[in-house]
């Protein structure tokens, strides 16, 4: 399986994402600079965390207009798995691939620590390796992770099981309905604020994030099985 890690000016979690795929998952991965326009050679697209374009205007607002985003949108339309983490989630929101927006954390401070998440929906290509309602530990590192949407959007997310992860125990940023990660209608675009790529080895304090990448790989392999 071939993964693309999209790199914007200001990305700083791209190396973590690359390590998770190459060294922990054991699959092919390449960095793809934001000026490129073609992602057809890849099977999955990863938008990492960081501060794309210095977070000017709004987090992800400028990155949304990068050349590469047309290819990301095309890949999403083709059904390829798209994972946006932290700033990557913000870019997905700005591009319209996911609904809602991000506000400053309710304490107006940057937060960097492990948090507990509940796996609300394990029936996705990203979470099939988890148990439903499983509690996992994944680190966060953001200043604007306070997810917001209108009541109609929240109802739609809840009724269609599109909330994939919720903060468990303590909500660190004020996110609406404790939302930590959501998915699109088709089920192939996931945005989440916590960093699964930083939880792929017990040496890092948790390996709970590795199951997410293994789930993507498992789904891809099952969809590419050739029956005779």
Say how many CA atoms lie within 13 Å of 120 toward its Cβ. Answer: 21
Contacts of 78 (CB under 8 A, 6+ apart): none
CA distance 23 to 123: 26
Catalytic site residue 149? Answer: no
Residue showing tokens 């953001």 = 142
Q: Is the dihedral of CA 112, 215, 75, 73 positive or negative?
A: negative
CA distance 198 to 37: 28
Catalytic site residue 195? Answer: yes
CA distance 162 to 189: 10
Active-site residue, selected from the candidate residues 94, 118, 144, 197: 197
Do 121 and 161 touch, CB atoms closer than 8 A? Answer: yes
Please state whether beta strands 2-7 and 44-47 pair in parallel, antiparallel, or not at all (unpaired): parallel
Any idea what DSSP says for residue 96?
A: T
Active-site residue, selected from the candidate residues 34, 86, 142, 149: 86
Q: Which residues are catalytic?
A: 86, 195, 197
């Amino acid at each position: 399986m071939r993964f693309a890690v999209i790199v914007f000016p200001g990305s700083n979690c791209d190396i973590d994402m690359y390590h998770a795929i190459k060294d922990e998952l054991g699959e092919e991965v390449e960095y793809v600079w934001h000026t490129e326009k073609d992602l057809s050679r890849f099977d999955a697209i990863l938008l990492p965390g960081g501060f794309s374009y210095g977070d000017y205007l709004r987090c992800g607002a400028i990155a949304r207009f990068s050349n590469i985003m047309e290819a990301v949108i095309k890949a999403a339309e083709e059904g390829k798995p798209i994972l946006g983490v932290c700033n990557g989630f913000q870019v997905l929101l700005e591009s319209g691939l996911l609904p809602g927006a991000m506000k400053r954390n309710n304490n107006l401070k940057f937060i960097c620590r492990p948090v507990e998440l509940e796996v609300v929906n394990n029936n996705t290509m990203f979470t099939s390796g988890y148990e439903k309602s499983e509690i996992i530990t994944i680190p966060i590192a953001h200043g604007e992770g306070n997810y917001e949407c209108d009541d109609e959007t929240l109802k739609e997310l809840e009724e269609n099981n599109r909330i994939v992860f919720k903060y468990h125990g303590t909500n660190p940023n004020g996110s609406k309905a404790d939302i930590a990660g959501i998915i699109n209608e088709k089920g192939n675009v996931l945005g989440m604020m916590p960093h699964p790529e930083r939880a792929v080895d017990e040496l890092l304090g948790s390996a709970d994030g590795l199951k997410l990448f293994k789930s993507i790989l498992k789904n891809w392999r099952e969809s590419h099985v050739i029956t005779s």
